[in-house]
Chain A
Amino acid sequence: MTRLLYFVKQALSGMRAAPFVHGVAALTIAVALLLSGVVGALALQARALLEQWGLRAEITVYLTPQVAPAEAEYLARQAAELTSGTARYVTAHEALQELAAALGEEGEALRELPENPLPASVRVVPAVGTTAAEVEVLARALGKLPGVLDVDYGRAWIDRITGLSRAAGVIGLTLLPLILLGAAVLAASVVRLAIHARSAEIEIQRLVGATNAFVRLPFLVEGAFAGLLGGLLGAGGLFAVAWYVGPALEAALPLPAELQPAALAGPVPLLLVVGAGTALGLLASAISVGRHLR
């Protein structure tokens, strides 16, 4: 414990001696973490949005005019069984009434039409937890049932979300590690400056019999402290994004309800950012001091 305190004391003294270098290292880590936090949260939320889409998905199965009501009811039961959800037969007349009601005054004209242009349909709500991909598969299966004219399951919207999710996944898998690695390398270069500035001290320590571990430990503690500071700054930045930039973004852009900038300010993401900052600082120092002592 006394030994650890000694290294902490040495580390703090080293940080006091070179505040600019440690500040730059901390800022580098903070910016990288802020970027990673925003990109990572976006990727996770887009994925969650896609996965939850199935919860609200409704598949409309349009029927040919030849399908009798009894056959349609049978088809609805088949559809419910297939999707493990619920299905309701909607006659052509009901469909017209609903559309007219939805259009309000303008819809009154629909009631005057000599012939109903709308087909009868079966509206299917798949079981809770059905993913977008599963909805697509179910829609294809329903399309193969006899008497089915067409199936609508909001494909355009699902395609958009799928694209966004895929992009978020690619960004998450490639950009995030690159940002973090870049930050570690940059911070390592900055820390190396601090080590270089203290090369005379290291030389003297080695002359009086210091082991590599003795030389290395204060630098590792320094790196961890600089990383912790970077993590705290990054967490502060994320908090600011969540509480100040997020609402402005929501007001300016039609964000889906599932994209919640406020989620960035939760305790778990903020703690993760602080932890990641400390780990990055430690890694940067380990790289630099390791190379110096080699």
Chain B
Amino acid sequence: MIELYRIFKLYQGEVPALNDVNLVVGKGEFVFLTGPSGAGKSTLLRLIMAAEEPTRGQIIVGGRNLARIDHRGIPFLRRNIGVVFQDFKLLPNRTVFSNVALTLEVQGLPAKEVKRRVEAMLERVSLGHKANAYPPQLSGGEQQRVAIARALVGDPAILLADEPTGNLDPALTIEVMDLLTACSARGTTVVVATHDLHLLDRYRKRTVRLAEGRIVEDRP
């Protein structure tokens, strides 16, 4: 589902953020990307979602070589990739329903279909009763569940999560991680960047460790 071949990412005047990275993630697989801050985890996720281009190397997502997709094709690629961030990136002036609906609205789905799918997704993340609330009225865990609902409502083949539990307490962390592992069980490829070693111990999934832009360990 995700293939990276000899990926280099250099920023001007800095040491390489990614240095000769090779990685293959299969369909429905759950992978932890771990390593210290600045190891290149977030850069790797940004390259997979085509938010940045690699300096060198090839990235293939869902069978499509990103180097061959022009800027007009990128939105359509992203509709197949759900993304979750540490800071949730929710729109504070939109309701929970509206935040989640955005993913389907950009795809031009009819309002009825949007309503049906958003309501079902909010039930799935146990937030059906908060549909009309605004993000600032929610707890951190609820906000992250909204972000996950927004990422998943379009039924993407891939879910990328960048430190999704970084702002959450242990109980909420488990709640969010259970949602992500459930997605993987349903066939979605999930890549979670985290430096929380407790998570790695608890969930026992494939773990790819990065250090100074290189993969130093790939533990099944």
A: residues with CB less than 8 A from B are 2-3, 6, 17, 200-201, 203-212, 214
Contacts and interface: CB of A to CB of B under 8 A. Distances in A.
Nearest to A203: B89
Interface string B40-55: 0000000001010000
Contact of A209 (B72, B78, B93): B78
A209 B111 contact: no
A10 to B, nearest CB: 9
12 contacts: A3-B108, A6-B111, A200-B89, A204-B89, A204-B102, A206-B78, A207-B49, A208-B83, A209-B77, A209-B103, A209-B154, A212-B72
A186 to B, nearest CB: 27
Interface in B145-161: 150, 154
Interface-centre pick from A3, A203, A209 (highest chain B CB count, 10 A): A209
B91 A201 contact: yes
B105 interface: yes
A204 B135 CA distance: 15
Given A200-B89, A212-B75, 10 more contacts: A6-B111, A17-B93, A201-B91, A206-B75, A207-B49, A208-B103, A209-B78, A209-B107, A211-B72, A214-B75
Contacts of A2: 110-111
B93 A214 contact: no
A2 B111 CA distance: 8
Contacts, number: 49
Interface-centre pick from B75, B78, B107 (highest chain A CB count, 10 A): B75
A207 B83 contact: yes
B108 A205 contact: no
Contacts of B197: none
Given A2-B110, A2-B111, A6-B105, A209 B79 contact: yes
The prevalent SS among residues of B at the interface is loop
Given A210-B75, A211-B75, A205 B89 contact: no
A211 B91 contact: no
B5 interface: no
A210 B105 CA distance: 9
Interface in B44-82: 49, 51, 72, 75-79
Nearest to B72: A211
Contacts of A6: 105, 111
A208 B91 contact: no
B106 interface: yes
Contacts of B76: 209
A3 B108 CA distance: 7
Nearest to B108: A3
Interface string B136-172: 0000000000000010001000000000000000000
Nearest to B51: A207
A26 B49 CA distance: 39
Contact of A204 (B49, B77, B91): B91
The 9 closest A-B pairs by CB, nearest first: A209-B79, A209-B78, A210-B106, A208-B103, A211-B75, A209-B75, A209-B106, A214-B106, A204-B89
Contacts of B103: 208-209
B85 to A, nearest CB: 9
